[in-house]
Amino acid sequence: MHAAARFKVVIPARLGSTRLPRKVLREVAGKTIVQHVWEAARLAGAEEVLIATDSDEVQDVCESFGAAVWMTATTHNSGTDRANEIARQAGWDASTIVVNLQGDEPLMPPALVSQAAELLANDPEAHIASLCHPLHALDEWLNPNVVKLVMDRRGYALYFSRAPIPWQRQGASREQPRLPAGLAFRHIGLYAYRVAALAEFSALPPAPLEDCEALEQLRALTHGFRIKMGITDAPPPRGVDTEEDLQAVERILSRS
């Protein structure tokens, strides 16, 4: 029986968003999206939960509900870079585990946050840990907005793609694809890093595969990072990228 992992959570919360402007400050069920994320993170058992932003307005709103907020540079390309700046500013030890939880995931179950941290804590060979869940619907597997992955026998990610992978060769065609039962997984965009790996990753230039698929985790695989994947049968509902997503989250939270 492993002891509970010790970890920090950083929530990158950027105000600028092209598809849904100001989304982290949009309200659902009486609270801003970022407050819902922060509350979920606090229930996950983290030693510390920090919100990372480059916006004075986000800082003011988050401090009003009691969150610890750290200001970061406006030049970061990703939430990962923002989390790395926080780790550096805070002076966290190289072995400290940091979970990067995006500020637009108000329905992320706290248990998944702690699961990602524990995966990394229990595998000294892993640099990063993340989660996935089995896909059962053909339309999801074919959807380029659903990120798929394949793993090796030890649970390390081999590849992530927006394409339907792995491809069922027997009995399938381009016109009539078949979902490969038991082999198709959807990636959940939640990451746990050790501070040393987070710093190394953030210093690397974007990789060609990353640019091709617009998937940051392919930079890690390109440079030989081991990403340990945990499988869950209770995936989180969607994050918030569009007005439609916002309405869907509102319906779910209003029922709870």
The verdict on residue 212 lying in a domain is yes
Q: pLDDT digit string (tens) for 48-104? A: 999 999 999 999 999 999 999 999 987 787 889 899 999 999 999 999 999 999 999
Decide: 111 and 4 in contact? Cβ < 8 Å: no
For 119-170, give the DSSP string: HHHT-TT-SEEEEEEE---HHHHH-TTSPEEEE-TTSBEEEEESS--S---T
Q: How many domains does the chain fold into?
A: 1
Question: Residue 4 — pLDDT band, cuts 50, 70, 90?
Answer: confident
Please name the residue that has the structure tokens 């694809």: 177
The verdict on residue 45 lying in a domain is yes
Cis previous bond, 166, omega within 30: yes
Is the model more confident about 244 or about 199?
Answer: 199
SS3 231: strand
Confidence check: pLDDT of 1 > 60? no
The verdict on residue 115 lying in a domain is yes
The verdict on residue 106 lying in a domain is yes
Question: Residue 3 — pLDDT band, cuts 50, 70, 90?
Answer: low
Percentage, residues of the chain above pLDDT 90: 74
The verdict on residue 170 lying in a domain is yes
CATH code for the domain of 35? 3.90.550.10
Q: pLDDT digit string (tens) for 31-40? A: 999 999 999 9
User: Residue 73's domain spans which residues?
Assistant: 8-255
The verdict on residue 2 lying in a domain is no
Decide: 130 and 191 in contact? Cβ < 8 Å: yes
The verdict on residue 148 lying in a domain is yes
Q: Which two tokens stand for residue 220?
A: 């890690």
Task: Give φ, ψ of 28 to 5 degrees.
Answer: -135, 135
SS3 76: coil
Burial 45-68 (b: 16+ CB within 10 A, else e): bbeebbbbbbbeebbebbeeeebe
Mean per-residue pLDDT over the chain, rounded: 92
The verdict on residue 85 lying in a domain is yes
